[in-house]
Amino acid sequence: MQLGYAARWEALFNEHVSRGLLPGRVIRSDRGSALVATARDEVRATPSTRLLKRATGALDLPAVGDWVALLAPDDLDIPLVEAVLDRTSAIVRGDPGRSSDVQVLAANVDIVFVIHPIAEAPNLRRIERELSLAWDSGARPVVVLTKADLSADAEAAHRRVQEVALGVDVVVTNALTGEGIGPLVDFIEDDRTAVLIGASGAGKSTLVNALLGQDRQATREVRMSDGRGRHTTVARELIAIPSGGVLIDTPGLRALGLTGSEDGIASAFPDIEQLAHSCRFRDCGHVDEPGCAVLDALESGALPQDRLDSFHKLTREAQVAAAKTDARLRAQEERKSKTISKAAKEYHRRLGRR
């Protein structure tokens, strides 16, 4: 089957085969329903009661990119999503450690293209930030520098970005000439799934169009029948590209908040992580601690001040975000227990009246 159906999914799907379920991939997710592509066609499906009962939150419900097991007998008006197969990765909004507070923006993503324009000097701090976020998902980040034709010195920009994108491929593109599009295709062929993140105006749509080629309008639109003879057109958010591979492009991803977790930050700053192993204290904050290997590297010039500042800033933001999530959850718990104790009081009051 198309859309990245690989051996892994076939193996995971095995338990559902005997129940007569169909494998499919979610190509668009709306409130309460999902558009699912199967080997046969594209159908609008809703989560089954069984799936809803088992779900602990939005995290367990179908999101764009998910592989699902579909119950679709001919006598059923609307096919049911019976199960969501275990994800390899997920781009989420909210704190990944807190399932009740998380929304999945894209699932089973292999590559995150971090799109950044170089019409002006690249914003290295922004790239570090977006890389933290990308690493968080579990997918592999690739930095894509756009608008090379407008850059005074694309080579220099490339080098500077490589210095902060450690262990990450950096590709320079120019939409006018098509330079750099080939390498992007190479990253996603073999049925890999990619998403694009980056600021407004960075050149994401332009890249998507370049990857989709000629028939992009037709590639994006699905005509759906509502069963009463009426037809509507909706946009696919997961799109197979002609050269192989899959792109996920959703409005939610574009509006993605920009705080990674501390894990993502650690992956985006492997140089600082490496140095930290040699700090005297295991929980060294690299601020003013004695025996800090990170501060030593700063002193010797091996580590730029800007980069350490950026690391500290992102870490603080991640901690604040995590604390906020904790506070919100505590408030939620309190409200819940208040409601429960109110209910309990009411129950006892009634008992007492008997």
Ligand X SMILES: Nc1nc2c(ncn2[C@@H]2O[C@H](COP(=O)(O)OP(=O)(O)OP(=O)(O)O)[C@@H](O)[C@H]2O)c(=O)[nH]1
> Binders of ligand X among 196-215, rule CB under 6 A?
198, 200-206
Q: Contact, 246 vs 239, CB < 8 A?
A: yes
Q: Which does 286 bind (CB under 5 to 8 A by kind): ligand X, Zn ion, none?
A: Zn ion
Burial class (CB in 10 A: 0-12, 13-18, 19+), 266: middle
Can you read off the two tokens belonging to residue 1?
Answer: 């089957």
Judged by beta carbon, residue 48 or residue 206, the one nearer ligand X is: 206
| Stretch of 26-34, 194-202, 280-288, 315-323 contacting ligand X, by CB under 6 A | 194-202
Q: Which neighbouring-strand residues pair with 42?
A: 37
Q: Which does 294 bind (CB under 5 to 8 A by kind): ligand X, Zn ion, none?
A: Zn ion
Tell which one of 254, 312, 313, 328 touches ligand X (CB under 6 A): 254
User: Closest separation between CB of residue 169 and ligand X, Å?
Assistant: 18
Q: Contact, 116 vs 127, CB < 8 A?
A: yes
> Rounded to whole angstroms, how far apart are CA atoms 100 and 330?
12
> Rounded to whole angstroms, how far apart are CA atoms 339 and 346?
11
Under the binding rule (CB under 5 A), the answer on residue 292 touching Zn ion is yes
Q: Which does 203 bind (CB under 5 to 8 A by kind): ligand X, Zn ion, none?
A: ligand X
Map residue 179 onto helix, strand or coil.
strand
User: Closest separation between CB of residue 111 and ligand X, Å?
Assistant: 17
Under the binding rule (CB under 6 A), the answer on residue 149 touching ligand X is yes
User: DSSP string of 247-313?
Assistant: EE--HHHHT------HHHHHHH-HHHHHHHTTSSSTT--SSS-TT-HHHHHHHHTSS-HHHHHHHHH
Q: What is the dihedral of CA 184, 190, 195, 199, to 10 degrees?
A: -10
Judged by beta carbon, residue 2 or residue 205, the one nearer ligand X is: 205
Under the binding rule (CB under 6 A), the answer on residue 147 touching ligand X is yes
> For tokens 């275990």, what's the residue?
86
Judged by beta carbon, residue 16 or residue 204, the one nearer ligand X is: 204
Judged by beta carbon, residue 49 or residue 209, the one nearer ligand X is: 209
Q: Which does 200 bind (CB under 5 to 8 A by kind): ligand X, Zn ion, none?
A: ligand X
Q: Give the per-residue contact string, 167-186, with ligand X (x = CB under 6 A; - = no).
A: -------xxx----------
Under the binding rule (CB under 6 A), the answer on residue 270 touching ligand X is no
Judged by beta carbon, residue 149 or residue 191, the one nearer ligand X is: 149
> Binders of Zn ion among 256-285, rule CB under 5 A?
279, 284
Judged by beta carbon, residue 33 or residue 206, the one nearer ligand X is: 206
Under the binding rule (CB under 6 A), the answer on residue 146 touching ligand X is yes
Q: Which does 204 bind (CB under 5 to 8 A by kind): Zn ion, ligand X, none?
A: ligand X
Q: Which neighbouring-strand residues pair with 250?
A: none
User: Closest separation between CB of residue 134 and Zn ion, Å?
Assistant: 25
Contacts 24+ apart (CB under 8 A), 163-166: 163/124, 164/124, 164/127, 164/128, 164/307, 165/127, 165/131, 165/141, 166/269, 166/270, 166/271
HSE on the CB side for 121, CA within 13 Å? 3
User: Closest separation between CB of residue 317 and ligand X, Å?
Assistant: 22
User: Closest separation between CB of residue 119 and ligand X, Å?
Assistant: 7
> For tokens 């490339």, what's the residue?
158
Which amino acid is located at 349 in the chain? R
Number of residues near ligand X (by CB under 6 A): 16
User: Closest separation between CB of residue 125 and ligand X, Å?
Assistant: 19
Interface with Zn ion (CB under 5 A) = 279, 284, 286, 292, 294
Interface with ligand X (CB under 6 A) = 146-147, 149-150, 174-176, 198, 200-206, 254
